[in-house]
Amino acid sequence: MTDSARDLAEQIVQLTGTRLPAVLDDAAPVLERQPESVYFIGLIGGKDVGKTSLINALVGRELSRPIGFGEGTDRAIAYCHASAVESVRAVLERVSPGKHEIVVHDNNALQSQVLVDLPDIDSRYADHVELTRKMLRHLLFPVWIQSVEKYADQQPRLLLQRVAEGNDPSNFLFVLSKIDLLAEREGESAVAELRDDYAARLQRTLDLAHAPAVFCTSAIRTASFDLPELTRLLARQRDARSVEQSQSLARAQRDRTVLRWIDEQQLPDQLARVERLIAEAREQLTARVASPIADGPLQQIATSAARRWAIVEEASRQRLSHWPVLRVFDTLLVPITSLLQKNIAPASSAEDPLLARSHIARQVQSVFAELHQTHPLTSTLLRRQAWWEPESADRAAMELTRRIDASLAAQRAEVVRSVARNRKWLAPFRLLLTAGALAWFPIIQPLLEIVLPMDGLAMTRELAWQIVRMLGATYLLQSVAFLAIYFVSLWMWVRYDTWRSASRLLTRLQSATAADARTSPLQQLIDWTDHLLAPLESHRDELKRLLARVESLRANSNGATR
Amino acid sequence: MLFAGRSIPRAIEALRDTLAKVRPTAGTRADAVDRALLHLSAIAFHHARSDRDTPVVVLIGGTGAGKSTIVNRLVGQTIAATSFRRTFTAGAVAIASQVDRVPDRFADLPTRLLAPELLPARGEGDAISIALATSPLIEKVVLVDSPDLDGDVPDHHAIADRLFRFAEAVVFLVTPEKYQMTELWPYYRLAARYGVASRFVMNKIDDPAAPGDYLKQLRDAGLEASHVFEIPRDDATYAPPQTASLGALRDALASLQASPDAKRSGLAARAADLRARVADQIVEPMRADRAAADRAIAGLQAMLLPEPGVDVNPITRDLQRRLQQRSVLYLIGPGRILDRVRQVPGLLLRLPRTAWDLLRRGGAASEDAIPPEQRTLPDFRESLIAQFRLLHSRIDDLLAGAHLPAGLDASWKLPVERAGDVADEELADLRTWLEQRWNATPRDTAALKKLLRLLPGGDRLLKMSEAAPYLLAVACAAHGAIFGHLDIMILGGYGLATWLVERMSNEVASRTRATNRAIARRFAQLAEQQVNRTIDAVRNCVPDVRSIDALESQANDLAAALGGDDRQPEGAR
C-alpha cells in the first residue's frame, strides 16, 4: 500500500512539477519494512539525558557504562535474544558498520523484541546524529527520552516531527528522565506540572487530539515514579498480531502524510480549473469558429447545385463507361453537358470568406489569446501547441480546411463509388440493350421478318431484295435516326437514374447522424475542436485518474486505521 | 584618524540608507536586508560606545541552563523570574543601577522600565525590560538576561542572537547536559572574533570532571579560555575552587576592562563579516535578479510585436464601386466595355433560367447575389483586441521564463480595450467619411464637368459619355484608318489613359490605405507603450545596478574605514 502511495506521489510530481514530500525522501528518518522475526525498540534522546542509565535500569543489568560527560555513547547497543542475533546483526551491519554491539540474553519471553541504546541526537558529534537517524528507519517503537533540563529543546522536536510523518504516535513512548532532580528541589506537584507541560508541548508538536502519556523516570530512584510501569511495559513482548497492527498503523500514518501532501497539491481545484478551461475553450471555439462554418459554408456546400452536378457528372461518366455503345455517345455529348452544367448550376465564383484560412486562423488565435489571459493554465498546458501564436493558429486553420476538404472528397468518392459500381452480372444485359439493339433494329429484325413467314425461292429473292434496300440511303438514314432516339433515351435514363441515387446518398451522408466520421464535415469540425484541445483533455484525464487513485488510497488508509 | 573617526558614522548612515532603499517588501531578500541592518546597527552601537560607558553584559545559554537564576544570584536579588519550566524567560531583562545606563535603542529595541511590583520579570519579546537594582556589580555593569538559544520557540533564538550582537561582554552559560550541543559553538567563535569579552560558566555541576572536559573542548576548538567558572548543582556535594566560584565570576564581571585594541579589531571583524554578508546574501542575489531582469528586458526589447492584420477594404469596397460607377472616366474607359463584354455570354446562357424565373416568379433574380448590407464584415475591434492579447501572452510567457524575483504584479498590463478603441476610433472616422462621400461626385468627374461646362452643349456631351469608346471604335473600324496604323495606338492609349486616371483619381482606395496605415501605426504605438511599461515594471522590481554597486562599495568603505579590509570573513550565523 505504501508503495502505491509513493508511486502516486511520484506521478503527481511528474504531472504538476512540484517536489516529492519529505517523508518519501530516501534519507528521511522514516520507518522501512521490518525483518519479519524481530521488532526494534530504540531510545532516542539528547546528550546526557540518561539513555544508557534508563536502558540499564530497564533490563536490570549494565549493558554499558553510563558516562556523564564527554562524547558518551557513540554506538548502537542492541539487547536481544540469542535466536535473533543473526537478523539483528544484519540490520546493524547495514546501519552502522563497525559501530555496534550486541548483548545477548536468554529470556525466551522476549525472543523477538530487540532493545537498542543509541547515541544522542543533538550534540556536536555529527556521526552520532547520523547513526541515530539511520537507525530510526528500523525502529518500530521509538522511545523518546528527554531530561527535565532539556525537554523543551528544538532539535529533538524537529526530529520527532520528521519521524511522526512515517510512524504512528501511538507507537511512541515518551520518557522524562532525571525527574528525581526536580522532585527533590520543587516537590511532587512540580513533577505533575512538568509532565503536563512536556505532554502539552508534545501534543502541539505532533498535532494530537489528546496529550500523550509521559513516563517520568529516575535512574537513581528506580522503584519510584513511572519506571516500574515502563519496565513492565517493555518486559512484555508484543505478540505478532500487535506488532503487525503497529506496523500497519505506521504505514497508515505514512500514507496519511502523503495524503496530506496530496491535499496540499489541491488536485480537485486543478481539475476544476482544467475543466473550466476546457469548457470555455470549447464554447468559444464553437461559437466563433465551428458554428459559423457549420451554419454558413457547410450548409451552402451541402445544398450547392454545382457540387451535386459535379458529383453526378463524375458518377454518370464512370457508370456509362460500363455501357459499350453509350460510352462513345457520352464522350460525344461532353460539350453539351458541360455547357449545361456551367449555366444551370454555376459554381460559386468566390470562396466563402468564413472558410478562408486566414479568417479561421485569426479566430483561433483570438480565442486562445483570450484564454491565455484569463486562464494561466493555458500557457503551461498548451506550451508546445501555442495556438495563440499566428503561425500555430495558421497551422490549426490549415488542419481544419484539410479535414473539411478531405471529408468532402471522401463524400464525393463514396457517392461515386457506390453509384457507379460495376455490376458485372448485368454486363450481358447491357450488351443486349446496346450492341444488341444496334444489330437487331437495322439488320436482324428486317431479315427475320422475311425469313420467318416464307420459304423456298421466293424467300431468297425477297431476302436479296431486302438486303439491297437495307444498303440504300433512305433505309440507313431511317435506322440512324431511330437509333439516335433510342440511344439518347437510354443515355438520359442512365443519367437520370444516377442523379436520383446520387442525390439520395448525398443527402444521407450530409445528415448530422452520419455514421462514418470520415465523410461528415460536421463530425470533422467536432474532431478538429477535440484535436486543438487534446493536450488539455489528456491533462484532465490524467488528473482524474490520479484523483481516483487518491480516493482509493484514502479509502484503504481509512480502512486500515479502522 | 580624525578623518576616519568622522567618516565612519557617515559610512554607516550611507550604508543604512542604501540598504533601506534596496529592501524589497517581503521575501528572503527582505529578511537578509533586515539582518544586515541589525548587524549594521550593532556596528554603529559598538563604534559609538566610549570607555566611560557602563559595559553591557549579556548572559547567553540554552534552555534550563539557569541564566535567570545566575543573574539573580549575581545581583543578589530576585529580579529575573525563574521556573523549572523551560523557555520561561520570553525577552531581554536588563538590570541596571540607573535607567540611563541602559543604552538607548540597545539591540535596536525600545526600552521599558519595570515598576518594582512587576518583578520578578519574564521579559517581553519586542522590548528590553529594565529593572533597577542596587548592588556592587550593577554599579559597574549592566546585566542582561536573555531568552534561550535552543528551545522550541524560534522567536526566543532571534532575541538572544540580537542581544549577542550588541553585547560588550558575554557570559556563556552551559550545563553538563548541554555543553556539547551545537547551538552555542558558533557564538563562542564569534565572541572571540568580535573581541567581546567572554566568560564560560558551567552550572548544575555534579560530576567534577565535566567542567574540565568543557574547558578541553573549548581549547580544542581553538578558543582562548583561561578557565571555566563552576557552579555546582544545589544538592551536589562538590565545591568548586575559589578562583572558579560564583564570587570569582562576580569579581571578573565587575572588573571588566574593555581593551581598545580588542574593540578595534572586533569592529574590523564585524565590518568584514557585514561586508561578506552583504556581498553573499544581498549583493550577489540581487545581481542575479538584476541580470535576470536585464535578460527579460532584452527579451522584451527584441520581442516581435504582433501585426494588427486589419484590412478595412471590405468596408470601403461598396463606396469604391459606387464612385467608380459614377465616374465619367470609368464610363468612357475600357473597364466599362470589358465589364459589358464579360456579361454577354452569361446573359445569353442565363436566358432560359431568366425566362423561367420571369414566368414563374414574375421577376428575374438580381445580378448581385449578396446585397452589400448582408455581407459579413470582419470584427476589427475583436481582432485588434486579440492581437493585443497575443502581445500580453507573449510578455507573460517571457516573464514566466525569466525567473524574476517576486514582486512583479500584473499592473503593467494595459487594458486590452485600448486596442479595441484604436479600431473603433479609426473606423468611426472612416464611416463618417464614407457617409459624407456616399453621394459625392468623383473627383475626376467633377473636374471633367468643370472643363466641359466651358464648351457649348457640354452637359449633353457628358450624358453621352458612355457611348464615346464605342463611337471611337466604330469610327476607327469603319474608316479603315483615320490616322493609318496609328489607330490601334490611339485606341490603346485612350483606354490606358482613362483607366489609369480613373484608378488614380479614386480617392476611396487611398483613403482605405490611409486608414489601414493609421490603424497599424496606432497599434504599433500602443504595443510599444505596453512593452515599455512592462520594461519599466521589470526594471523597478529589482534595485538598479547603481544601488547595488553603491551597496557593495559602501560595505567595502565601511570595512576599510574600520580596518576590516584585510580580514578574512568567517561564516557567520
* B63 to A149: CB separation less than 8 angstroms, yes or no: yes
Q: Note whether A306 contacts B: Cβ–Cβ < 8 A.
A: no
Task: Supply the DSSP string of B94-109, one letter for each residue.
Answer: EEESSGGGSPTTGGG-
Provide the β-strand partners of residue A141.
A41
- Whole-model pTM over 0.90: no
What pLDDT score does A489 carry? 92
pLDDT-derived band at A35, boundaries 50, 70, 90: low
Q: Residue A517 and residue A498: Cα distance in Å, rounded? A: 25
What pLDDT score does B6 carry? 55
Read off the DSSP letter of residue A439: H
A175 SS3 class: strand
What pLDDT score does A350 carry? 53
- For the record, the C-alpha cell of B250 comes out as 562576580
Residues 359-378 of A with CB under 8 A from B: 359, 362, 365-366, 369-370, 372-373, 376
User: Which H helix or E strand runs over A409?
Assistant: helix A390-419
Range with the poorest average pLDDT among A325-339, B231-245, B370-384: B370-384
- For the record, the C-alpha cell of A466 comes out as 431486302
| Number of inter-chain CB pairs under 8 A, A vs B | 139
Percentage of chain B beyond pLDDT 90 is 20
What pLDDT score does B564 carry? 66
Closest CB from A184, A344, A366 relative to B386: A366
Closest CB from A122, A185, A359 relative to B181: A122
Q: Are A84 and A37 in contact (CB under 8 A)?
A: yes
Give the start-end residues of each E strand in B416-546: none
Task: Rounding to the nearest 10 degrees, give the CA dihedral for residues B405, B407, B410, B413.
Answer: -80
Full strand arrangement of the beta sheet holding B128-132: B111-113, B128-132, B93-96, B142-145, B56-61, B169-174, B197-205, B228-232
A88 SS3 class: helix
CB contact set of A392 (below 8 Å; sequence gap of 6+)? A385, A386
* B62 to A153: CB separation less than 8 angstroms, yes or no: yes
Query: Within a 10 A sphere around the Cβ of B218, how many other Cβ atoms?
Result: 20
Q: Residue A213 and residue A169: Cα distance in Å, rounded? A: 11
Q: Is the pLDDT of residue B462 over 80?
A: no
Backbone angles phi, psi at B564, to 5 degrees: -95, 15
Q: Residue B232 and residue B252: Cα distance in Å, rounded? A: 18
What pLDDT score does B373 carry? 47
On the question of a cis peptide bond just before residue B120, with omega within 30 degrees of 0, the verdict is yes
Tell me the pLDDT tens digit for each residue of A437-486.
989 988 888 888 888 887 778 888 888 888 888 888 988 899 899 998 99
Q: Note whether B176 contacts A: Cβ–Cβ < 8 A.
A: yes
B60 SS3 class: strand
Task: Give Rg (Cα) of chain B.
Answer: 47
What pLDDT score does B571 carry? 46
* pLDDT (average), residues B60-79: 89
* pLDDT (average), residues A481-502: 91
Q: Is the pLDDT of residue B525 over 90?
A: yes
What pLDDT score does B370 carry? 43
What pLDDT score does A515 carry? 63
What pLDDT score does A545 carry? 92
* B177 to A147: CB separation less than 8 angstroms, yes or no: yes
Residues of B in contact with A370 (CB under 8 A): 386, 389
* pLDDT (average), residues A311-329: 87
B151 SS3 class: strand
Q: Is the pLDDT of residue B377 over 90?
A: no
Q: Note whether A172 contacts B: Cβ–Cβ < 8 A.
A: no
Tell me the pLDDT tens digit for each residue of B305-336.
888 878 888 888 778 777 777 777 777 777 77
- For the record, the C-alpha cell of B17 comes out as 540608507
Residue B177: name the closest of A70, A6, A326, A269 by CA: A70
Say how many residues make up chain B. Answer: 573
- For the record, the C-alpha cell of A57 comes out as 535500569
User: Which H helix or E strand runs over B117?
Assistant: none
Task: Rounding to the nearest 10 degrees, give the CA dihedral for residues B550, B554, B560, B562.
Answer: 180
User: Which H helix or E strand runs over B111?
Assistant: strand B111-113
Closest CB from B63, B154, B175 relative to A152: B63
Task: Rounding to the nearest 10 degrees, give the CA dihedral for residues B416, B420, B421, B422.
Answer: 110
Place of cell 525600545: B110
Q: Note whether B86 contacts A: Cβ–Cβ < 8 A.
A: yes
Q: Residue A178 and residue A227: Cα distance in Å, rounded? A: 11
* pLDDT (average), residues B178-205: 90
User: What is the number of alpha carbons within 13 Å of residue B349 lying toward its C-beta?
Assistant: 15
Residues of B in contact with A47 (CB under 8 A): 177-178, 180-181
What pLDDT score does B371 carry? 46
Q: Is the pLDDT of residue A353 over 60?
A: yes
Range with the poorest average pLDDT among A13-27, A493-507, B188-202: A13-27
Average per-residue pLDDT for chain B: 83
Task: Supply the DSSP string of B189-240, one letter for each residue.
Answer: HHHHHTT-EEEEEEEEE-STHHHHHHHHHHHHTT---S-EEEEE-TT-----
Q: Are B38 and B30 in contact (CB under 8 A)?
A: no
Kindly report the nearest CA distance between residue A459 and chain B, in angstroms: 55
Helix extents (H) in A286-386: 291-295, 297-303, 305-320, 324-332, 334-344, 357-374, 376-381
Read off the DSSP letter of residue A153: B
Kindly report the nearest CA distance between residue B339 and chain A, in angstroms: 16
* pLDDT (average), residues B291-310: 86
- For the record, the C-alpha cell of A527 comes out as 474532431
A173 SS3 class: strand
Instruction: From residue A525, give the alpha-carbon distance in Å to each of A288, A355, A386, A397.
Output: 12, 12, 20, 11
Closest chain B residue to the Cα of A72, Cα to Cα: B180
What pLDDT score does A1 carry? 45
Residues of B in contact with A150 (CB under 8 A): 62-64, 86, 177-178
Kindly report the nearest CA distance between residue A490 and chain B, in angstroms: 25
Q: Note whether A82 contacts B: Cβ–Cβ < 8 A.
A: no
What pLDDT score does B224 carry? 81
Q: Note whether A124 contacts B: Cβ–Cβ < 8 A.
A: yes
Query: Within a 10 A sphere around the Cβ of A111, how many other Cβ atoms?
Result: 17
Q: Are B104 and B113 in contact (CB under 8 A)?
A: no
Q: Is the pLDDT of residue B441 over 80?
A: no
Instruction: From residue A322, give the alpha-carbon distance in Å to each of A72, A412, A484, B132.
Output: 106, 20, 19, 123
Q: Is the pLDDT of residue A396 over 90?
A: yes
What pLDDT score does A560 carry? 60
Tell me the pLDDT tens digit for each residue of A231-288.
888 888 888 888 888 888 888 888 888 888 888 888 888 898 899 899 999 998 998 8
Residue B222: is it exposed, middle or buried by C-beta count within 10 angstroms (0-12/13-18/19+)? exposed
Tell me the pLDDT tens digit for each residue of B527-567.
999 999 999 988 888 888 898 999 999 998 888 888 766 55
- Percent helix, strand, coil in chain B (nearest 5)? 60, 10, 30
What pLDDT score does B452 carry? 74
Range with the poorest average pLDDT among A104-118, A292-306, A503-517, B180-194: A503-517
Name the residue with higher pLDDT: B345 or A46: A46
Residue A88: is it exposed, middle or buried by C-beta count within 10 angstroms (0-12/13-18/19+)? buried
Read off the DSSP letter of residue B174: E
Closest chain A residue to the Cα of B207, Cα to Cα: A68
Residue A86: name the closest of A135, A42, A41, A37 by CA: A37
ipTM: 0.72
What pLDDT score does B2 carry? 39
Q: Are B333 and B467 in contact (CB under 8 A)?
A: no
Residues of A in contact with B389 (CB under 8 A): 366, 369-370, 372-373, 388
Residues 355-394 of B with CB under 8 A from A: 376, 378, 382-383, 385-387, 389-390, 392-393
What pLDDT score does A534 carry? 93
Helix extents (H) in B243-379: 246-254, 260-277, 284-301, 313-325, 328-332, 334-349, 351-361
Phi-psi region of B415 (alpha: psi -120 to 50; beta: other; left: phi over 0): beta
Task: Give Rg (Cα) of chain A.
Answer: 47
Helix extents (H) in A471-520: 473-510
Residues 252-291 of B with CB under 8 A from A: none
Backbone angles phi, psi at A456, to 5 degrees: 80, -155
A interface test, pick of B69, B174, B181 with most A CB neighbours within 10 Å: B181
Q: Are B161 and A101 in contact (CB under 8 A)?
A: no
What pLDDT score does B1 carry? 39
Q: Are B317 and B509 in contact (CB under 8 A)?
A: no
Residues 13-42 of B with CB under 8 A from A: none
Q: Residue B471 and residue B332: Cα distance in Å, rounded? A: 10
CA A235 to chain centroid: 52
What pLDDT score does B542 carry? 85
Q: Note whether A68 contacts B: Cβ–Cβ < 8 A.
A: yes
What pLDDT score does B42 carry? 93
* pLDDT (average), residues A304-332: 86
User: What is the number of alpha carbons within 13 Å of residue B391 lying toward its C-beta?
Assistant: 32
Q: Residue B516 and residue B213: Cα distance in Å, rounded? A: 89
Q: Are A286 and A533 in contact (CB under 8 A)?
A: no
Q: Is the pLDDT of residue B38 over 60?
A: yes
Residue A27: name the closest of A135, A125, A175 by CA: A135
CA A24 to chain centroid: 23
* pLDDT (average), residues B253-268: 86
Average per-residue pLDDT for chain A: 85
Q: Residue A296 and residue A284: Cα distance in Å, rounded? A: 17
Place of cell 464605342: B470
